[in-house]
Each structure stands twice: as C-alpha cells, then as structure tokens.
Structure 1
Amino acid sequence: MVPAQGVIELARSYKDTPFHHQGRQPGVGLDCVGLLACAFQAAGVPIRDRTNYPRQPIPADMLDALREHTERVPKRASWLPADVLWMHFDEPQHLALYTGRSVIHAYAQVGRVVEHRMDATWMGRVVSVWRHPGVSHE
C-alpha cells in the first residue's frame, strides 16, 4: 500500500507544469489524466496509463478507465485524501486529485497544473469520486 500523502506530495510537486493534451512529463507538460497517472505511478501505485483519447474526452471511456483502476466512493462524507474526482464542465470530462481541503489538477483554462480550495463551484462540478485500492489512508 502507498500512503495517500505520498501521492498528494508528488502531485503538488508538479504544480505550474504547463497544460499539454496527453502530456506525461512533469515540469514539461501534463493534462488531467497525465497528472494523476504520473503521480500515482511515481508513488508506486500500479495503473495502466492510457493516451489514446481525443482532446474532448469521451465520458464513457473515462468511466471505463476509472472502473478499471479504482472503486467508487459512495458518499461525500467518506471522501479521503488522494481520491480521484471525476468532474464535468459541459459533460463529465475532467479528473482531479482531492487533498482533503483542496484539489490539484491540470487545468486547460489556466494552462497549467494548479491547486486551489474546493469551493461550492468546484463541488458542483463533481460527478463522482473514486479511490485506488492500492492507496492507504492511515
């Protein structure tokens, strides 16, 4: 098991990395999937990364990938640090890492990896929450 804090600290270390569709190089370019793939893999959490997706993600494909690696968290009160948030803008198409108080994600609209608090606007974007079984929360 990998400590949740280890995944979060790795993701934090990627802040300010430029947004790049299908990017998988911290410090050079990441997208929302690449941020999570790099942080989880670098922490030692096994995942199979996918890069064969269009710029406008297909929600059904994202859901399939989430189901392959993670388990759905049923209630807001049970969210834990290092859970993956599946979010929507027009439709479900974005992933972020929950830290317990904030969210870390590669945000195309600002062009880089950012961390900010989970305010009401961002909470309203959450479609579902997912947890990797290889992450410990002790």
Structure 2
Amino acid sequence: MVGADPDRVVATARSWRGTPYHDHASLKGVGCDCLGLARGIWREVVGPEPFPIPPYSRDWGETGPREVLAEGVRRMMPEITASEAGPGALVLFRMKPRAITKHVGILTGNDTFLHAYERLGVVEEPLAHAWRRRIAFAFLFPQR
C-alpha cells in the first residue's frame, strides 16, 4: 500500500516539536492536542481537512463500545496492521486495557514516536514497550 512519503511525514511531524499542549487546538507553535497534531500534519502533507472534526470532551474515549477515533480515521486514511507500521505511520493507542482508542501518535523511527501529551506538549520519545503494546490501529497518510 502506497502512502505519502514517510520522510516528508516524519519531517513535518518533527517540525511540530515544542508546540504546547492545548485541548482541541491544531496550530503549530501555538497549541494542539494529539488529534490536532495529526490534523496539522494532514494539512501540511495531504491538504485541506476533508471534513470538520465534531466537538469532543476530555473523557470522550472513556465510555462506549465504538471505536469512534478509528472509524473516523478509516474514512480518510488507508489502514495497515500494527506490525506493518513504520516511520510516518499514524498510530492509535489504547490508554487502558479493553478501552477504546483515544490517543494518537506518529512513528518517527522504528523505535520512536511523536505525540502531543498533556503538560509536555509535542514531544518525540522512545516507543518503549509500554507504548508499543498499546498500539491498536495503524494508518498511512495518503498521497496528496
């Protein structure tokens, strides 16, 4: 499956490092949450967002059986298996066992990823086992 150039996705993602964390935001250098980070990378790599993101609460992923985030991403991005995911892939994390996915990151290397994390902002860090085991879905940014 062919997606956007992984080197371009990673370089774009890294250009967001240091952006402060801010719920519902998606402005490089100003503020973003994890979904806002993915949205900003999309705009730079792919183009305009295909549909508006509906409002969501901080606890949106705490209840319900539907994989709302994964379903939304599937509308825009080709899905791959977690084992196929490499640099440039968008990954969705389960923050608790048996919970629905609610956190987004971008793989920047075989053992590193970038994400927007509360109190830290956009950071790149090792994809330690504690994070790797939480990956539930993986997707490719499409070509422009």
C-alpha distance after superposition, 1:42-67 (max 9, x if no partner): 12345435152222234632122111
Q: Flag the structure with higher strand content.
A: 1
Instruction: Give the Å deviation of 1:133.
Output: 3.1
The one-letter amino acid paired with 2:91 is: L
Q: Who is 1:30 aligned against?
A: 32
**Inter-partner Cα distance in structure 1 for 2:67 and 2:4:** 28
Identity of aligned residues (%): 23
**Inter-partner Cα distance in structure 2 for 1:45 and 1:7:** 13
Unpaired stretches in structure 2, ≥5 consecutive residues: none
Q: Secondary structure at the match of 1:40?
A: helix
Q: Who is 1:120 aligned against?
A: 129
Q: Flag the structure with higher helix content.
A: 1
The one-letter amino acid paired with 2:60 is: P
State yes or no: 1:132 paired with 2:132. Answer: no
State yes or no: 1:104 paired with 2:114. Answer: yes
Q: How does 1:1-138 map to 2 (within 5 A)?
A: 2-45=4-47, 47-48=49-50, 49-58=52-61, 60-76=67-83, 78-90=84-96, 91=99, 92-101=101-110, 102-108=112-118, 110-134=119-143
**Inter-partner Cα distance in structure 2 for 1:95 and 1:22:** 13
C-alpha distance after superposition, 1:11-67 (max 9, x if no partner): 111111111011111111100011111112112345435152222234632122111
TM-score, reference length from structure 1: 0.84
Query: How many residues are treated as equivalent by the alignment?
Result: 133
1:75/1:25 Cα in 2 relative to 1: closer, same or farther (>3 Å)? closer
TM-score, reference length from structure 2: 0.81
Instruction: Give the Å deviation of 1:118.
Output: 0.9
The alignment yields a C-alpha RMSD, in angstroms, of 2.0
1:23/1:51 Cα in 2 relative to 1: closer, same or farther (>3 Å)? farther
